[in-house]
């Protein structure tokens, strides 16, 4: 039942927030804060009490499970399950949800209740994505996160210079993800029908569909349907067009959620569904996926260097970082996949921090344009120092979580694909360039305007300090995190080696 509550609480909290606006402006904020804290506390408790040893023959792969029939006619179930990976990501969702509420404390003053309803609905949808095992249910949650995100950008986004841009950005985001979601839906239904024609059983269950024997060209196309849906969300170049716009126009809380969690649903989807459902096809597709990852790393970094809008810059760095994740997911190495999970967490921390920092800057100088910044180190207390720390994290400085993630990915991928790692390493230099460019343009150099700006208040300082401590903690002692997800990463890595063996065996038979 815990799993059901994890999903329901944000939705109930959201409705409460919406109504609570009648009482006072502050009430929705506190309710939202409490809700997210609840989600976080539950997941931490589960983590403390859970046993994450790799599944043995008689113990289940899942830590917690919950099933109930939903539409028995079509074999649709409400099947929720949690393992180490889902737990980490749910906890991350709770934590970043907390930050999202906190960082919009001052920023949002218009329709506060409805804002928090949307925010919590996004988070509820994301938790659902991380827990749903039934493919139909998964798809439901997958689509469910989009709508409130659309409203978040369209209603509370920055109006920008062109006036209409936030609506455009929201629409673009919606179309991209909706269209790609359609591909996934088609793939899911096709997979279900293939299974039905094979066995006569209609089911959307994960375990049931995993072993489905799909005829060859079709299997590849189905895999591609899943891959593209996730690739748009990750995002993989060339499907990244929605990201910079959405980030630039979204309110800070929206950017935090987008970068911190929504992008991770895609990596989660690949790990949980795309790879296990189609192991052989994915193994065959791996070179292409890795190539796309490389393109993302380099292309995202180059574009980040060319931006003038600070939030667009950070958005493009996400494209670059997610390229590393994509490479790792298709490397078939446990070390790299574990690294990808660490990098997902690290990227959530560092990018969320940078977005929150740029939100705080916006509250002070009312601009995101780096051409009107410069010399802020002397004008703004404390925050530039934090920026430097997170910029260092973003460029993969050792002792930060990002370093652990990136280097585990590179160490893990190198034996299988050395050239990929060589090219990806160029990304490390480019990361230094865009990160320090940000620092140089915003905080160093001559002062664009004079006059001291207000330093961070206790809330802002607290957010930054917690994020920094977490980044360093994971960077210096990632083992608890690694132990939690080891049981997930190992089998996924084996999928590739296993399918390679199968292919060899098939060749021998022929």
Partner 1 sequence: MAMALILSFVFPLAGTLILALSAGRLGVRASSFIGVGSVGLAALATAWAVMTPPGGESVTVITLWNWIAVGDFQPTIGLAVDGLSLVMMSVITGVGFLIHLFAAWYMRGEEGVTRFYAWMNLFVFSMLLLVLGDNLLLLFLGWEGVGLCSYGLIGHYYRSHANGQAAFKAFVVTRIGDVFLALGLFLIFMELGTLDIRTVLELAPQAWAQGSTTANLAALLVLGGALGKSAQVPLHTWLPDAMAGPTPVSALIHAATMVTAGVYLIARLHGLFLLAPDVMLLVGVIGAVSLLLAAFAALAQTDIKRVLAYSTMSQIGYMFLALGVGAFDAAIFHLVTHAFFKALLFLSAGAVIISCHHEQDMRRLGGLWRKLPVAYGGFLVGGAALVALPLATAGFFSKDEILWQAMAADQTGLLLAGLLGAVLTGLYTVRLILSTFHGEPGHGGPTSDHVRDPEAGVNPLTHHLPLVVLAICSTFVGAWLYPGLGGLFPASPGEAADTGHTLLQVLAMGAAFAGLLLAAWLFLWQRRWLDETVRQGFGNSLWRLWHSAWGFDALFDRILVRPWQLTVKYLRVDLINLMMNLPALVARALNAGLVRGQNGRVRSYALVMVFGATAILLTLALVQGGAV
388 binds partner 1 per the rule CB under 8 A: yes
According to CB under 8 A, which residues from 410 to 429 bind partner 1?
410-412, 414-415, 418, 421-422, 425-426, 428-429
How far apart (Å, rounded) are the C-alpha atoms in residues 325 and 318? 11
372 binds partner 1 per the rule CB under 8 A: no
According to CB under 8 A, which residues from 471 to 510 bind partner 1?
476-479, 482, 486
How far apart (Å, rounded) are the C-alpha atoms in residues 350 and 92? 13
How far apart (Å, rounded) are the C-alpha atoms in residues 155 and 356? 19
Q: How many chain residues interact with partner 1 (CB under 8 A)? A: 58
What is the nearest approach in angstroms of partner 1 to the Cβ of residue 219?
27
443 binds partner 1 per the rule CB under 8 A: yes
Residue (of 10, 86, 96, 100) closest to 47 by Cα position: 86
What is the nearest approach in angstroms of partner 1 to the Cβ of residue 63?
20
Which of 37, 186, 432, 495 is close enough to bind partner 1 by CB under 8 A?
432
Give the H or E element holding residue 54.
none
Site string for partner 1, 326-355 (x = CB under 8 A): --------xx--x-----------------
∠396-400-403 over CA atoms, to 5°? Answer: 40
How far apart (Å, rounded) are the C-alpha atoms in residues 268 and 86? 8
Instruction: Report helix, strand or coil for 414.
Output: coil
Site string for partner 1, 445-464 (x = CB under 8 A): xxx-----------------
Distances (CA, A) of 400 to 24, 269, 348, 350, 394: 41, 26, 13, 9, 9
How far apart (Å, rounded) are the C-alpha atoms in residues 17 and 1? 24
Please identify, using beta-carbon distances, which residue of 17 and 408 lies nearer to partner 1: 408
How far apart (Å, rounded) are the C-alpha atoms in residues 482 and 22? 45
Please identify, using beta-carbon distances, which residue of 34 and 445 lies nearer to partner 1: 445
Please identify, using beta-carbon distances, which residue of 8 and 302 lies nearer to partner 1: 302
Instruction: Report helix, strand or coil for 337.
Output: helix
287 binds partner 1 per the rule CB under 8 A: no
399 binds partner 1 per the rule CB under 8 A: yes
Residue (of 261, 251, 191, 195) closest to 221 by Cα position: 191
Site string for partner 1, 289-308 (x = CB under 8 A): ----------x--xx-xxx-
173 binds partner 1 per the rule CB under 8 A: no
450 exposure class (CB count in 10 Å sphere: 0-12, 13-18, 19+): exposed
DSSP state of 73: G
CB count within 10 Å of CB 346 equals 28
What is the nearest approach in angstroms of partner 1 to the Cβ of residue 447?
7
What is the nearest approach in angstroms of partner 1 to the Cβ of residue 377?
5
216 CB contacts (<8 Å, ≥6 apart)? none
Q: Quick one: which segment of 12-20, 153-161, 247-255, 371-379 binds partner 1 (CB under 8 A)?
A: 371-379
Q: Which residues contact partner 1 (rule: CB under 8 A)?
A: 237-241, 244, 299, 302-303, 305-307, 334-335, 338, 375, 377-378, 381-382, 385, 388, 392, 397-399, 403-404, 407-408, 410-412, 414-415, 418, 421-422, 425-426, 428-429, 432-433, 436-437, 440, 443-447, 476-479, 482, 486
């Amino acid at each position: 039942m815990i799993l059901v509550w994890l999903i329901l609480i944000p939705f109930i909290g959201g409705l409460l927030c919406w109504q609570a606006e009648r009482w006072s402006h502050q009430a929705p904020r506190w309710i939202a804060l409490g809700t997210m804290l609840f989600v976080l506390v539950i997941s931490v408790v589960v983590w403390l009490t859970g046993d994450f040893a790799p599944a043995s023959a008689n113990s289940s792969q899942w830590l917690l499970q919950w099933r109930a029939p939903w539409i028995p006619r079509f074999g649709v179930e409400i099947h929720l399950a949690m393992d180490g990976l889902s737990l980490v990501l749910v906890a991350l969702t709770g934590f970043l949800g907390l930050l999202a509420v906190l960082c919009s404390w001052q920023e949002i003053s218009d329709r506060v209740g409805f804002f928090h309803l949307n925010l919590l609905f996004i988070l509820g949808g994301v938790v659902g994505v991380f827990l749903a095992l039934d493919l139909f249910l998964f798809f439901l949650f997958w689509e469910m996160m989009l709508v409130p995100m659309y409203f978040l950008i369209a209603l509370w986004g920055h109006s920008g210079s062109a006036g209409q841009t936030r609506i455009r950005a929201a629409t673009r985001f919606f179309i991209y993800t909706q269209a790609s979601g359609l591909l996934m839906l088609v793939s899911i239904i096709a997979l279900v029908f293939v299974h039905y024609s094979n066995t006569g059983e209609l089911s959307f269950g994960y375990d049931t569909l995993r072993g489905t024997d799909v005829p060859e060209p079709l299997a590849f196309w189905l895999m591609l349907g899943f891959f593209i849906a996730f690739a748009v969300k990750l995002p993989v170049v060339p499907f990244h067009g929605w990201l910079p716009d959405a980030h630039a126009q979204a309110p800070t809380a929206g950017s935090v959620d987008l970068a911190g969690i929504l992008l991770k649903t895609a990596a989660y989807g690949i790990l949980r569904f795309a790879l296990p459902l189609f192991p052989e096809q994915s193994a065959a597709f791996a070179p292409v996926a890795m190539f796309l990852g490389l393109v993302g790393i380099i292309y995202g970094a180059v574009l980040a260097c060319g931006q003038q809008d600070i939030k667009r810059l950070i958005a493009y760095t996400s494209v670059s970082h997610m390229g590393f994740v994509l490479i790792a997911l298709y490397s078939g190495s446990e070390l790299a996949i574990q690294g990808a999970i660490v990098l997902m967490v690290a990227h959530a921390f560092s990018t969320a921090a940078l977005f929150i920092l740029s939100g705080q800057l916006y509250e002070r100088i009312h601009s995101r344009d780096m051409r009107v910044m410069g010399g802020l180190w002397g004008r703004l207390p404390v925050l530039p120092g934090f920026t430097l720390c997170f910029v260092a994290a973003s460029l993969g400085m050792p002792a930060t979580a990002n370093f652990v993630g990136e280097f585990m990915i590179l160490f893990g991928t190198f034996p299988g694909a050395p050239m990929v790692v060589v090219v990806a390493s160029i990304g490390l230099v480019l990361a230094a360039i865009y990160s320090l460019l940000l620092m140089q343009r915003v905080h160093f150099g001559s002062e664009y305007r004079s006059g001291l700006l207000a330093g961070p208040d206790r809330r802002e300082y607290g957010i930054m300090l917690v994020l920094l401590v977490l980044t360093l903690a994971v960077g210096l002692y990632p083992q608890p995190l690694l132990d939690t997800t080891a049981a997930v990463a190992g089998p996924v890595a084996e999928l590739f080696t296993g399918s390679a063996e199968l292919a060899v065996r098939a060749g021998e038979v022929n």
